[in-house]
Amino acid sequence: MGVALFGGSFNPFHNGHLSIAKDLVDHLDLHELKILPSGQPPHKLRNLASNKHRFKMIELGIKNHLNSISLEAFELNNKAISYTINTLKHFRQKLGASKTLIFCLGEDSFQLIDTWLDWERLTEYCHLVVISRKGFNIDLNCKIKIWLQQHQCSEIKNLHDKPFGNIYFCKLAQIDISSSEIRNNIAKEISIKGLVPTKVQEYIVTNSLYKDAK
């Protein structure tokens, strides 16, 4: 078995992320899923908590699920701009040519994938698993549609039969939570209880995170 990566800014890590991670392990029949927080993104994000804070929030959020979910700090430790293609090259080199590498991302990110560096080469290093997002209607442009037709598969077994090359759409029952909603609630002094793991909520309060979020 290879490696599955669940990428994102996780700003902050919330119960929706945790639910997706647990469901991906079951749905994709994974031994382990690595949460991969982005480092310095090529498209600057507003109100992005520091690498240190995001690492700690994820660490606290997955603490009770370490048998199947782990935290991967590769991009956080990389001082250069974080391009997914370079991350995938790194993990492919570590794994070798024959082991499966899966990169999981949301439908909203996949819709914009043609803005990523060397996006059409991503499937040369991994399988892509595109996660449905509640209430989001994906609308792909022609370039992405043509690329998708060349790589889309409909069965999970295809992800395990070869080490890279496929794109699989994954429908999961999701909790309707967004990081932006949480940041806005904090700025407006609205409770975020139930939106994030308890230890994450305590960490946000202790470190006065997102108080100036817009």
DSSP 111-142: HTGGGSTTGGGGGGT-EEEEEP-TT------H
Contact 61, 200 (CB under 8 A): yes
Q: What is the mean pLDDT of residues 5-26?
A: 95
Q: Report which of residues 105 and 134 the model is more confident about.
A: 105
Two structure tokens written together for 210:
């997102």
Two structure tokens written together for 73:
């700090």
Q: Is the pLDDT of residue 184 over 70?
A: yes
Q: Is the pLDDT of residue 191 over 60?
A: yes
pLDDT of residue 20: 94
pLDDT of residue 1: 66
Contact 124, 164 (CB under 8 A): yes
Q: What is the mean pLDDT of residues 192-196?
A: 96
Among 3-12, 29-38, 98-107, 133-142, the minimum mean pLDDT is found in: 133-142
Contact 83, 36 (CB under 8 A): no
Q: E strands of the chain, at which residues?
A: 3-8, 33-37, 69-71, 101-106, 127-131, 152-153, 167-170
pTM: 0.92
Q: What is the mean pLDDT of residues 28-53?
A: 85
Q: Is the pLDDT of residue 180 over 70?
A: yes
pLDDT of residue 214: 54
Residues 115-144: pLDDT tens digits? 999 999 999 999 999 998 877 889 999 999
pLDDT of residue 66: 83
User: Any bridge partners for residue 77, and if so which?
Assistant: none
Which amino acid is it at 150? Answer: Q
Rounded alpha-carbon distances, angstroms, from residue 15 to 21, 90, 155, 179, 204: 10, 29, 27, 10, 14
CATH topology of domain 3-176: Rossmann fold (3.40.50)
Kindly give the pairing relationship between strand 33-37 and strand 3-8: parallel
- pLDDT exceeding 70 applies to what percent of the chain? 96
Instruction: Name the pLDDT band for 213 (thresholds 50, 70, 90).
Output: low
Q: Domain limits of the chain?
A: 3-176
